[in-house]
Structure 1
Amino acid sequence: MLKNDNIMAVLPAKDIARAKGFYADVLGLDPPQVMDDENVLYRSGNGTAFLLYETDNAGSAKNTQMGWETTDIDGEVADLRSRGVVFEDYDFPGLKTEGGIASTPVGKAAWFTDTEGNILNLFQRL
């Protein structure tokens, strides 16, 4: 049954080599498991993972595609900024970032894009 299976995010990349560089050099992730020339699997905390696959469709989504839950969003944002990550600024009804971080009724959140145009997120619960 699905309720007992791990969930794995799937992200597109137009240029898998460029994307692998971003996830290694900028985000500091461990080297991925190479599935084949167009598919790599990254592992993260608590058995979570995401598949990065090559496709021309990368960067077309306008929504958050994947996120990490953190206990120190301010520290994570500062660290990623020092590595060259640019955080998005939003000013929508009910959502406004200040210094790249939004405060919501359930926690704090920040968004950035990878080299492939995927919108990624950091989130800290209250």
Structure 2
Amino acid sequence: MLKDLEIIAVLPAKDIDRARSFYRDVLGLEPAETMDEENLMYRCGKGTAFLLYKTDNAGTAKNTQMGWATDDVEAEVKELRGRGVVFEEYDFPGLKTENGIASTPVGKAAWFLDTEGNILNLYQGQ
């Protein structure tokens, strides 16, 4: 059942207009569907999607909420930095970023925040 269904990530936005501008102007994404003024559906590669919806709960999660898989995390980080994205620096036991990118036994990753405080990431597997 569920294993055959498409997954859609859901991201909160306190200010949907500010978020829409960030996703358009900084990340280069346009909504594939505007459901109403408080719900925007975005489509990405291989049938994946995410819904950006208006709520006052935005920015309260302290974990990665959504990520993009890439074959070249360094190139993606460079491109996004050129668009104004600031990457997070972490130094935890077992996870340390250098120039915004962490190398782990399973791959490389980089994290950044959107305008709503959502933690997003890029991931490159081994």
**2: CA distance between counterparts of 1:62 and 1:32?**
28
**2: CA distance between counterparts of 1:29 and 1:107?**
25
Deviation at 1:64, TM superposition (A): 0.1
Report the counterpart of residue 114 of structure 1 in structure 2.
114
Deviation at 1:114, TM superposition (A): 0.1
Report the counterpart of residue 61 of structure 1 in structure 2.
61
Q: Deviations over 1:27-70 (max 9, x none)?
A: 01133310011101000000000000000000000000000000
Report the counterpart of residue 87 of structure 1 in structure 2.
87
Report the counterpart of residue 52 of structure 1 in structure 2.
52
Runs ≥4 residues deviating over 2 A = none
Aligned residues with identical type, % of pairs: 74
**1: CA distance between counterparts of 2:66 and 2:38?**
19
The one-letter amino acid paired with 1:22 is F
**2: CA distance between counterparts of 1:76 and 1:31?**
21
Secondary structure of the equivalent of 1:21?
A: helix
The one-letter amino acid paired with 2:103 is S
1:15 correspondence with 2:15: yes
* Runs of 5+ consecutive residues of structure 2 not aligned to the other structure: none
TM-score (norm 2): 0.98
Secondary structure of the equivalent of 1:61?
A: coil
The one-letter amino acid paired with 1:89 is E
Q: Deviations over 1:44-102 (max 9, x none)?
A: 00000000000000000000000000001000000000000000000000000000000
Q: Deviations over 1:93-113 (max 9, x none)?
A: 000000000001010000000
TM-score (norm 1): 0.98
* Runs of 5+ consecutive residues of structure 1 not aligned to the other structure: none
Secondary structure of the equivalent of 1:20?
A: helix
